[in-house]
Structure 1
Amino acid sequence: MPDYFHGYAVVGLVAVVGVLFVAVAFTAGRLLRPVVPTPEKLLTYECGVDPVGEGWAHTQVRYYVYAFLYVIFAVDSIFLFPWATVFADPGYGGVTLVEMFVFLGFLTVGLLYAWKKGVLEWT
């Protein structure tokens, strides 16, 4: 029984060391940094450009849709590579092939829906 829990003890020890490392780093940063707030330092900062106008701005939603579609296909590729390695193992061929075609079918339906709605047109 002690050998079984030894693996958990190692993981727990690494987790505790990680949490302590982060706590020490944040505490050292808080103690060592200079604290001299000025009105200029308290301004909102973005990309080196001084803030002008209101904080709310209109953006094009279509850029978020492209980013969302990219994330979907990036996740698709993350699932395809491990599947290709498991597919070669004995006993996984048929079941794994069917599961992957179901997965790719869902992605295809989503892509066709986006195409039908005109999301993929850059205008």
Structure 2
Amino acid sequence: MKIDATGFSQDIGRIAQNSYQNKTNSDFQKVLEQAKESGQDDQKLREACLGIEAMFIHQMLTQMRATVPQGGLIKESNAEKIYRDMLDERYSEIMAKSTNNLGLADMVYNQLKAQESANTENGNTKE
């Protein structure tokens, strides 16, 4: 087994990217749970729906970047890949909150509100 700096830096980059994805997923789960428990249901639910749209846009940007051929004089470093992923994450948050967003957050919000009202009418307060 060969141990060198190249393999180590690739592993660190992969670990950092995976931990960042796990952090955003767990943050989203926490926001959803807080929305169910708090008195500010509408605002927290809207934030959670915006988080869903931001994650969708981030995945879309990631897949779009994967279709672009890589090449050039200087090879892309792991730090650059991580930075680009973080930049795409920020872009996706901005796009989700903009007025010209995809509308996914509104659709999810309306669906969840309709489901909540149906549960309230049926007497089910918890699922």
Do the two structures share a fold, i.e. TM-score over 0.5? no
What is the TM-score of this pair, normalised by structure 2?
0.37
* Richer in helix (by share): 2
What is the TM-score of this pair, normalised by structure 1?
0.38
- State the structure with bigger RCO (CA 8 A, min sep 6), 1 or 2: 2
Q: Please say which structure displays the higher CA radius of gyration.
A: 1
